[in-house]
A and B are shown apart, each in its own frame.
Chain A
Amino acid sequence: MRWPSRSVNRLVIAIGLTLGLSAQFIPLNALAAVGFQNAYIRLDRMKINTATGGTVCAQPASVATEGKVLVTFPSTYTVNATATNWTVNTSPIPAGSTIWPGITTATSATSPANVVTFGSGDLTVGILYCFNFAATSTLTTAVGAASSQQASVGTQTAASVAIDTTLVALANISDDQIVVSAVVPPSFSFTLGGNTDSFTTNLDPTSTVSTTGKTVTILTNAKGGWIAWAKDSQQGLRSATAAYTIPVAGTVNGVPSTLSNGVEGYVLDTDLTTDAVGGCTLVIDPEYNGIGTASGGTLSAAFQPIAACTGGTANSDVITLIERAAISGATPAATDYTDTITVVGAGNF
């Protein structure tokens, strides 16, 4: 046997060099799997040694017909090898992404290789696809905190020919949750609409005259509700200059007193203005639950309950306090008839 001639050798070398150089210009993806345009794994929990689900997203770069998606978790993670545990869903997925078409429960899950293979439909280049995998009996994060633990997302054809593969990094921290705590203290808010309340006109023997009225607004988170009491400084409207008191009418007997024109009398009427919804039941004490514009309860030197709300909290219950007075023709004239009523509220005991 003879060795080929020198020219043949040269030809072989030339062909070899040409092929070698040409290979540098052949597109890479025609030779092997390339990376996605974008790919990531977002786990639900980053805390160490914690069961977690997660979201897998990828934006294909290669034109091919996908049949599988392979997710490889870091070797420090624990993958449950029961493939049927690796169920998937597509709601919710990150904003701007598209539901991963044809995604199915894992067909295989291997440990310690930590590769989980899901079924996939055909993907379109340039679109970001996402799906979620379940958290129950699937993946457990690494025992120790670490950053940049290598994982990967890859797609294959149904015949297991690699299409796109991208390495991604996962990290663990010792705790990934912030406990938010707050205290709502028990409180009682009492708002008196004003500290003076004038009669709307001068007192007149031919009619019963009333004050404009002042509101008492109560908010409390006391589960037992609230109570309000009132007492009077002098049991009537007192004029210092006339040295005279228009006396309170009636007695404290659980029934309101009605004033008569031309007969001296002075009462406190308590109106239920707002029984706020969803809380306690507000009831005006019968003594002070006047009817019409000429009746009310007898003011006393001792505190008397005027209203109570029981059976729950109060979110802006409102009662209105109105004084009513009648005088006779003989009531001494004076411009300084006044009275001081003390009103106290409290959360129930």
Chain B
Amino acid sequence: MTEVYRSRSKQVVQVFMLSALVVGGFLMPAAAGAAASKPLNLVTSPLPISLSVPPGTTVTTDLRVKQAGPDTERLKVTLMKFSAFGDEGKPRLLDRALGDDYFDWVKFDKPEFDASSNVWQSVKMTISVPKSAAFGYYYAVVFSRTGDDKAPTGEAQPTAAYNGGSAVLVLLDAKVPNAKRELGLVSFTTQHRIYEFLPSAFDVKFKNTGNVHAVPHGNIFILSGKKQLASLDINDAQGNILPGSNRLFPLEWQDGFPHFEKVTEDGKVKLDKKNQAVMHMVWSNGGAGAGEVSPHLRFGYYTAHLFAVYDDGTRDVPMEATVGFWVIPWRFLLGVLLVIVLIGAGVYAATRGAVRGVRKIGKRR
């Protein structure tokens, strides 16, 4: 009996092992075929390149790229274009479309190349601008790893593949006499009419109504009456506005005591569940006044005066606007009012009690 049991047990084990081998055999190729997810680290330079050339000339610019992964990678160069869209002028990246003949003007000396780890590679971009060219052309040169645009195979689970790329934006101005470099101020608004404490936030929106990109810059002057309290730079990064598009420049005036600041932890801005920065009150001056001992108390009505200019090719064209806002620390004021009311009520009650007491004594007499 024991012998039979042992024999059967052995058979069961053998069958189980065989099954495991068979099943494993089916699974193994899939697992072996699945490529490991491979990071991509690209560093590109310079940042947006502005070129300005007359039609009928050729211009060459160096684009530099470094892949900082551990292995040599095969990189490729892809030419795209960019523009801006929407009310706020969001940047948009686009593939070549029908009629985009200006893509044909561009040649790269190395459309594909091996990039050793941490070695800068220089790629020459040559643009042969024809005589018929005019105004602005906006290229995006994208560096990416070859083969990453292929769908993965052999994955154990449904899988998404990423084809990562780093783009260098190139703004080409084909200089012609009838170029129209023109900006307009669409709006200058404050996000709230009343702030409890600073920062107060402003949105400045420009529109390019010309046919070539332009750069606005200027200041918002914060005034209390006629006294200037602060000056905020508009577009100190010298960002461009593309023809036919808007661009929004948000600004904040933070120099107040106390003021709200973003909470930070370990070098990161702390976010709430809605991905909004968590704010906290800081009992010191903020912004440009940080470090100054005397508190910059903000209370009352303020005006923000915008003064910006752009170069239309011959002169600086000014744009101006003004908006007003209040800073009222209403919770603090309510607290003070409550304390005053309580003290008043206390004084009233005490006085009333004393008067009644005196009357009672008078009546007894």
Q: A interface vs B, CB < 8 Å?
A: 185-203, 211, 214, 216, 220-225, 227, 229, 233, 237-238, 271-272, 274-277, 281-282, 284-285, 289, 291, 302-303, 305, 308, 310-312, 315-316, 321, 323, 325, 335-349
Contacts and interface: CB of A to CB of B under 8 A. Distances in A.
B277 A338 contact: no
B47 A222 contact: yes
B151 A340 contact: yes
B41 interface: yes
10 contacts: A185-B46, A187-B47, A189-B42, A189-B68, A190-B166, A191-B68, A196-B161, A200-B157, A340-B151, A344-B93
B94 A275 contact: no
B239 A338 contact: no
Q: 6 smallest A-B Cβ distances: which pairs?
A: A194-B37, A223-B237, A192-B164, A346-B167, A337-B158, A224-B237
Nearest to A221: B47
Interface stretch (B263-271, B325-333, B335-343, B353-361): B263-271
A172 to B, nearest CB: 42
Nearest to B163: A342
A120 to B, nearest CB: 41
B131 interface: no
Interface residues of B, number: 65
Dominant SS at the B interface?
A: strand
A293 to B, nearest CB: 13
A339 B160 contact: yes
Contact of A194 (B153, B162, B168): B162
B316 interface: no
Dominant SS at the A interface?
A: strand
Contacts of A199: 157-159
B39 A191 contact: yes
B162 to A, nearest CB: 5
Contacts of A220: 47
Nearest to B46: A186
Contacts, number: 225
A323 B160 CA distance: 8
Interface in B120-148: 138, 140, 142, 144-145, 148
Contacts of B167: 344-346
Contacts of A196: 35, 37-38, 152, 155, 159-162
A198 B155 contact: yes
A189 B160 contact: no
A289 B275 contact: yes
A81 B202 CA distance: 60
Given A227-B91, A237-B158, A346-B140, 17 more contacts: A187-B44, A188-B44, A190-B44, A191-B42, A195-B148, A197-B159, A222-B47, A229-B93, A285-B90, A291-B274, A303-B92, A308-B91, A336-B155, A339-B151, A342-B149, A344-B164, A348-B239
A198 B151 contact: no
Contacts of B48: 222, 347-349
A199 B156 CA distance: 9
B91 A341 contact: no
B159 A276 contact: no
Contacts of B40: 190-192, 195
A221 B44 CA distance: 11
B240 interface: yes
A302 B153 contact: no
B171 interface: yes
B54 interface: no
A275 B39 contact: no
Given A192-B40, A337-B158, A349-B240, A238 B151 contact: yes
A233 B151 contact: yes
A187 B142 CA distance: 14
A186 B63 CA distance: 12
A130 to B, nearest CB: 35
Given A303-B93, A340-B160, A346 B168 contact: yes
Contacts of B138: 349
A211 B160 contact: yes
Given A186-B45, A337-B158, A346 B277 contact: no
Given A196-B152, A341-B162, A347 B47 contact: yes
B101 interface: no
B104 interface: no
